[in-house]
């Protein structure tokens, strides 16, 4: 009996809750840490990036208008779904980074815990960032937080799952929607996460995942007039500089962490949540 041939899969993009092929028809080979073939991944084009931004903008009113408690519930559900596919994520991290199965399992568990952690912050971040401001006069004012809008995220090449969760969760928990440029080196955890998001309660378009070359896609997102912020965590110094210049065209919020490796297992703090929040202050007269 002849040996069975394995099915070589070509993974698609994740845009608007659906899985379309790249408009360009291009794909590239994804290999393991040992150089072995794993799969083919779609190579997104600028047209795919524009479609993803449109999907994120369409989803923004509903997602930002949901209660913070509801957003927390949805993100907690994503954590449940991710944990149910622990074995698959563990195998993908082993293949991508060449770590042991035990270490990969710990990283998956940390990613689940990170989602739960951010879900718990959903209805608390507003209380920390908002305030009732003391003023001298016949009026009072209140400051409250609002999401920035559509945020482009360049995912980090390290920590293909934990790092990815650590840049997506703080963006969406505060009511933003996002377009993520996955790690070109290790895109499979991003694609599998997209499958988790598609089968959870997260509305389509809240998270959109593009695979391919960040140097090709990110500048178009940075210069897109309907993108309100960009996280350059996974960008090279040269790419980050060019994206910052393009982002200045419409005064995008830009998050550019300091150079050097990031310890994704460390306490994430609230900086990533507040990076893409706006503060609205309302003045109200009294006794007049």
Q: Which pLDDT tens digit goes with each residue over 164-213?
A: 999 999 999 999 999 999 999 999 999 999 999 999 999 999 999 999 99
Q: Are 196 and 85 in contact (CB under 8 A)?
A: yes
Give the whole-angstrom CA distance, residue 88 versus residue 161. Answer: 12
Say if 152 falls within a structural domain: yes
With a threshold of 0.85, does the pTM exceed it?
yes
What's the domain count of the chain? 1
Whole-number pLDDT of residue 126: 82
Say if 1 falls within a structural domain: no
Nearest CA among 282, 269, 271 for reference residue 114: 269
In angstroms, how far is CA 52 from the centroid of its own chain? 13
Say if 4 falls within a structural domain: no
Say if 249 falls within a structural domain: yes
Least confident of 103-107, 138-142, 150-154: 138-142
Say if 244 falls within a structural domain: yes
Say if 3 falls within a structural domain: no
Domain extent for 152: 10-285
Say which CATH number the domain at 45 has: 3.40.605.10
Could you count the other beta carbons within 10 Å of the beta carbon of residue 155? Answer: 30
Q: Are 89 and 115 in contact (CB under 8 A)?
A: no
* Residue 143 scores a pLDDT above 90: no
Whole-number pLDDT of residue 221: 96
* Residue 52 scores a pLDDT above 80: yes
Say if 5 falls within a structural domain: no
């Amino acid at each position: 009996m002849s040996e069975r041939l394995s099915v070589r899969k070509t993974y698609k993009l994740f845009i608007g809750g659906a899985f379309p092929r790249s408009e360009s028809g291009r794909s590239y080979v994804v290999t393991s840490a040992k150089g072995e073939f794993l799969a083919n991944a779609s190579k997104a084009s600028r047209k795919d990036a524009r479609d993803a931004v449109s999907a994120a903008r369409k989803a923004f009113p509903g997602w930002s208008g949901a209660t913070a408690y509801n957003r927390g519930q949805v993100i907690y559900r994503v954590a449940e779904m991710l944990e149910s596919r622990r074995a698959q994520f563990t195998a993908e991290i082993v293949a991508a980074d060449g770590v042991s199965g035990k270490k990969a399992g710990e990283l998956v568990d940390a990613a689940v815990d990170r989602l739960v952690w951010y879900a718990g912050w959903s209805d608390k971040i507003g209380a920390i960032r908002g305030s009732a401001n003391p003023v001298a006069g016949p009026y009072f004012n209140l400051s409250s937080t609002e999401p920035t809008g559509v945020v482009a995220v360049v995912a980090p090449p390290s920590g293909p799952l934990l790092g990815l969760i650590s840049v997506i969760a703080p963006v969406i928990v505060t009511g933003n929607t996002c377009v993520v440029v996955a790690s070109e080196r290790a895109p499979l955890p991003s694609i599998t996460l997209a499958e988790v998001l598609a089968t959870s309660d997260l509305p389509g378009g809240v998270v959109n995942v593009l695979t391919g070359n960040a140097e090709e896609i990110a500048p178009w997102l940075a210069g897109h007039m309907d993108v309100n912020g960009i996280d350059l965590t996974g960008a090279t110094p040269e790419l980050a500089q060019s994206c910052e210049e393009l982002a200045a065209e419409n005064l995008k919020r830009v998050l550019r962490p300091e150079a050097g490796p990031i310890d994704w297992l460390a306490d994430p703090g609230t900086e990533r949540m507040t990076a893409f929040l706006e503060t609205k202050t309302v003045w109200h007269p009294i006794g007049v």
